[in-house]
């Protein structure tokens, strides 16, 4: 395909049409007349050999091809925006760039708090989109990272991609206060008997501590699977269910009513959170700045963990060797 023969304005029209599913609403949002956008839709239909929008009663519906194009179009526009907003000299204080980072709701809550404060202080005009990833995205991280700026994920899921270590975290088990089967501490026997809520439960989607528990011979009796850490209190409250959650998040979740967090009765392996990106971003000064923001957010978490005794203080450097 000869890209020089394409009108990039059609990409903008396509994005609005697919999102609004209405020529009238899309034209109003773009500040165009309805006939002008109808003409663009006619050109798009000829290009794709597809109706894209089909009338059903008084509304339009997307064709199967249009449904596939909706996410691709948004991704393509984001890429075009990155190209044409790039600057020879990067100043975060004036930059209006939009970054997109994929993560589960755990780092969105824990890291996002600090990242947001850093942006307030240093880059008030910049926009950061923190979007939920899926297990399919994680399995195809090498391809997915071509279209976004980063993926926050623990070590053990992505290989052969550049990354920055952010922080580490331990594990707690959430239990309802009203759960009469659990006293001040859990036992390995109770872990095998009680029903579980798992946040990820598939061959390529799991929490490392839960996988470790299976390797120790305890097969959790999974009753519910919900790919959300923040939803756990409402799935445990008033029941006998238990769930694994990161220690950084446990303190926040126990503020919700009938929930407490207990230590794991095994030496649960800590996770190491990292920011992963595609190598094409390696020498992008704006992306390097974004990476530094996430690293600083992780440093703040680690610093607080040390001050609260959750992590040992780093060793004090000794005197330089004698020459």
**Range 98-168+272-307: architecture per CATH:** 3-Layer(aba) Sandwich (3.40)
Encoded tokens for 175: 């239990």
CA neighbor of 292 nearest in space, from 111, 164, 147: 164
Q: What is the average pLDDT score of the chain?
A: 88
Q: In this predicted model, which residue has the larger pLDDT, 82 or 280?
A: 280
Q: Which single residue is written with the structure tokens 């550049």?
A: 162
- Each residue of 139-169: pLDDT tens digit? 888 888 988 999 999 998 888 899 999 999 9
pTM of the model: 0.72
The reply to whether domains 98-168+272-307 and 171-269 share a CATH topology is yes
pLDDT category, 3, cuts 50, 70, 90?
Answer: low
The whole-number pLDDT of residue 204 equals: 54
The pLDDT-based confidence of 56 (bands split at 50, 70, 90) is confident
Q: What is the mean pLDDT of residues 10-22?
A: 89
| pLDDT mean over 7-31 | 88
pLDDT of residue 264: 95
Q: How far apart are the first and last CA of the chain?
A: 66
* Domain 3-84, second-level architecture: Orthogonal Bundle (1.10)
**Four-residue CA torsion sign, 182, 188, 191, 194:** negative
pLDDT level of residue 5 (50, 70, 90 thresholds): low
Mean local confidence (pLDDT), 192-200: 92
* List of residues 6+ apart from 187 with CB closer than 8 A: 265
Domain ranges, ordered by start, for the chain: 3-84, 98-168+272-307, 171-269
CATH class of domain segment(s) 171-269: alpha beta
Task: Please check the confidence at residue 215 and state whether its pLDDT lies above 80.
Answer: yes
pLDDT, tens only, 61-86:
899 998 888 878 877 777 676 666 66
Confidence of residue 227 (pLDDT cuts 50, 70, 90): confident
Q: 267: pLDDT confidence band, cut at 50, 70 and 90?
A: very high
- Predicted local distance difference test score (pLDDT) of residue 184: 92
In contact, 111 and 139? CB cutoff 8 Å: no
Is 323 a residue whose pLDDT tops 60? no
188 versus 58: which is more confidently predicted? 188
78 or 135, higher pLDDT: 135
Q: Give the number of other Cβ atoms within 10 Å of residue 268's Cβ.
A: 20
- Average pLDDT in the 28-32 region? 89
Which token pair is 92? 């975060």
Q: What is the pLDDT of residue 266?
A: 93
């Amino acid at each position: 395909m000869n890209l020089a023969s394409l009108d990039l304005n059609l990409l903008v029209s396509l994005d609005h049409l697919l999102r609004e599913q209405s020529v009238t609403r899309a034209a109003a949002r773009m500040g165009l007349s309805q006939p002008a956008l109808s003409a663009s839709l006619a050109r798009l239909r000829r290009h794709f050999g597809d109706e894209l929008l089909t009338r059903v009663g008084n509304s339009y519906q997307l064709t199967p091809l249009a449904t596939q194009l909706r996410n691709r179009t948004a991704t393509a526009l984001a890429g075009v925006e990155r190209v044409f907003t790039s600057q020879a000299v990067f100043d975060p204080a004036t930059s209006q760039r939009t970054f997109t980072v994929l993560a589960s709701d755990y780092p969105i809550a824990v890291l996002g708090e600090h990242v947001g404060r850093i942006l307030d202080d240093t880059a008030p005009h910049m926009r950061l989109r923190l979007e939920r990833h899926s297990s399919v995205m994680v399995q195809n991280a090498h391809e997915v990272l071509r279209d976004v700026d980063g993926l926050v994920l623990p070590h053990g899921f992505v290989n052969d991609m550049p990354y920055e270590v952010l922080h580490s975290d331990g594990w707690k088990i959430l239990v309802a206060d009203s759960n009469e089967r659990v006293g001040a501490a859990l036992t390995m026997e109770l872990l095998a008997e009680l029903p579980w809520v798992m946040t990820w439960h598939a061959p390529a989607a799991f929490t490392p501590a839960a996988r470790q528990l299976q390797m120790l011979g305890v097969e959790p009796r999974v009753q519910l699977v919900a790919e959300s850490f923040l939803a756990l209190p409402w799935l445990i409250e008033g029941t006998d269910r238990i769930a694994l959650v990161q220690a950084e998040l446990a303190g926040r979740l126990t503020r919700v009513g009938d929930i407490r967090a207990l230590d794991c009765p095994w030496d649960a392996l800590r996770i190491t959170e990292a920011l992963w990106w595609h190598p094409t971003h390696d020498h992008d000064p704006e992306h390097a700045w974004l990476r530094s923001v996430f690293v600083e957010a992780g440093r703040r978490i680690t610093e607080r963990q040390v001050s609260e005794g959750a992590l040992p203080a780093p060793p004090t450097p000794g005197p330089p060797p004698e020459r």
